[in-house]
Amino acid sequence: MQSETAVGSISVDRVTVEREGRRILRDVSIELSAPRIAVVGANGSGKSTFARLLNGLVLPDAGRVMVHDLDSRRDAKALRRRVGFVFTDPQAQILMPTPAEDLALSLRGSPRARVEARVAAALAEHGLSDRADVPASELSGGQRQMLALASVLITEPRLVVADEPTTLLDLRNSRRISDLLLSLASQVVIVTHDLDLAARCDHALLFEKGSLIASGAPQDVVSEYRELCA
Ligand SMILES: Nc1ncnc2c1ncn2[C@@H]1O[C@H](COP(=O)(O)OP(=O)(O)OP(=O)(O)O)[C@@H](O)[C@H]1O
Ligand SMILES: [Mg+2]
């Protein structure tokens, strides 16, 4: 699967983000071309802010972000189509009353027959066929996260950015979502506190107090993070 990954380059060049007069990202520069990238670091270190730079949800106050040749400021609309973002809390992402309707919403504008076929295929692929028409509020947490991820994947984004996608899940569902993310044909950036998941990626980044302090092989970066916390 990994050999099929449509990897693009992510370039973050001297990026600073300020909020309320405080630098929440400080002069971050990194060039990334690995298929599966983990982002680790303590609470409040800037991971989510970094993740949100990648789909233009956060714009840099200084510096520049290029994702697959799209400038996050200049090509904002195209970037949002190219990058799928998965939130920690799937509730933030499920917009329609049922799974089938939610998946169909992601494909709005496509011909109806095609939407129906793709929705049915996505439901089957993610183990949600028998939940297609039940109220989304009746899904379990794991099913909800699976639906939120499916709604992103059905648009076939070239880059998937997931901000702590397994934090609210039990071990089995966490494993399931992790395995799915790691097997995608698209490039993925996964923000996580799950260091086993981070270690399964191809590259890792470590943030500390708004600065990118390590970038490299996941095993090395995870070790550095553990030392930092010791
Ligand atoms: N919109 C905002 N306004 C003000 N401060 C913000 C805003 N967004 C983030 N911050 C601050 O920036 C810092 C980094 O936040 P960020 O959410 O990126 O951290 P994080 O590494 O994702 O943390 P966690 O592991 O807890 O999710 C925090 O101190 C946070 O309070
Ligand atoms: Mg966060």
For residue 211, the cross-strand partners are 208
Q: How far is the CA of 108 from the centre of ligand 2 (A)?
A: 30
Instruction: Give pLDDT < 50 ranges for the chain.
Output: 1-3
CA of 206, nearest ligand number: 1
Residue from 43, 48, 229 whose mutation best tests the ligand 1 pocket (most atoms within 8 A of CB)? 48
Q: How far is the CA of 86 from the centre of ligand 1 (A)?
A: 17
Residues comprising the chain, all counted:
230
Domains of the chain: 2-93+157-229 (3.40.50.300)
Residue type, 219: Q
**Residues 203, 38 contacting (CB under 8 angstroms):** yes
Please give the mean pLDDT across all residues of the chain.
Answer: 95
Q: How far is the CA of 207 from the centre of ligand 2 (A)?
A: 11
Ligand 1: list residues with CB < 6 Å: 19-20, 24, 41, 43-49
* Helical residues (DSSP H) of 170-210, grouped into ranges: 171-182, 195-199
- Give the model's pLDDT for residue 56: 97
187-191 and 36-41: which strand pairing?
parallel
- Give the model's pLDDT for residue 217: 98
Determine the Cα–Cα distance for residues 201 and 132; give it in Å rounded to an integer.
32
- Give the model's pLDDT for residue 21: 94
